[in-house]
Amino acid sequence: MKIQYAIGALIGAAAFCSLNASASQYLGVGAEYGVLKEQYSGAEYPILNFETRFGMDFSDRFSVEVEGAVLGKDDREFEGGCLDPGAVERINDDFSVGCAYLDSVSRQAVTVNFVLSQPFANFDLFTCLGVGAVRTSYTFTVDSVGVSSTEAFQEYSAADVQRAEDQINFGLSLIGADPIDLQLPDDISETSIDLLYSLEGGILIDDTHRLSVTWNPEYGSEEVGKYKYVGFSYSWLFRFDDF
């Protein structure tokens, strides 16, 4: 239902703009660098987005704009414990096991921003509240499994570990023993579309150069994670003559 509200806001903004074609219009292109922070794990993902925007100035103090941000993605490599210690001990109690993981997060967003400005001689200060939708994709995979003992260290792929588990369990079944479960983490590939709110503040110089800071409160889902976002952006604005 929240996504329907966001879509309704986008449609309403488009209709509102079409009914007010006498307002001053502008297009903007730019980039935004920000950091996504996953709330459960604390992992941080630097994101570089390409931004576009279309806006209408209804006065020198109030504007409405539609903003899109695409191409934002970050890949991360990290290490951690893995496999069930009890199952590993049944195979060999001299083993020490760790995993290397790969994950990635991508983010695309569309928001409608309601902008309040305070004009000065050569610049404007502005703040805006936005509502829209954000598409988040998350992938996770086990890159390798490292096994160390007093004699050596070896790395195996997740597929090698799964085959070894199957072979061991086949042998255990022949002697009537209980199977082992190494609990190798599953690969994850999930996408979620969620309602997004944004709070933004910044400066507009000579009606052309737009610099701002954006904050998104927590959004996301159990499948892709829950995120907060802070970004810094620059846009160059091209303004049309009043219609």
* Whole-number Å distance between alpha carbons of 161 and 188: 18
Asked whether the predicted pLDDT for residue 6 surpasses 50, the reply is no
Among 5-14, 113-122, 156-165, the minimum mean pLDDT is found in 5-14
Question: By mean pLDDT, which of 68-72, 126-130, 225-229 is the weakest?
Answer: 68-72
Q: What's the mean pLDDT when you consider all of the chain?
A: 87
Structure confidence at residue 8 (pLDDT): 52
Q: What is the pLDDT of residues 15-40, one digit of tens each?
A: 555 545 556 899 999 999 999 999 99
Q: Which of 65, 201, 61 is nearest to 117 (CA)?
A: 61
pTM for the model stands at 0.80
Mean per-residue pLDDT, 162-174: 87
Domains and CATH numbers, the chain: 2-238 (2.40.160.20)
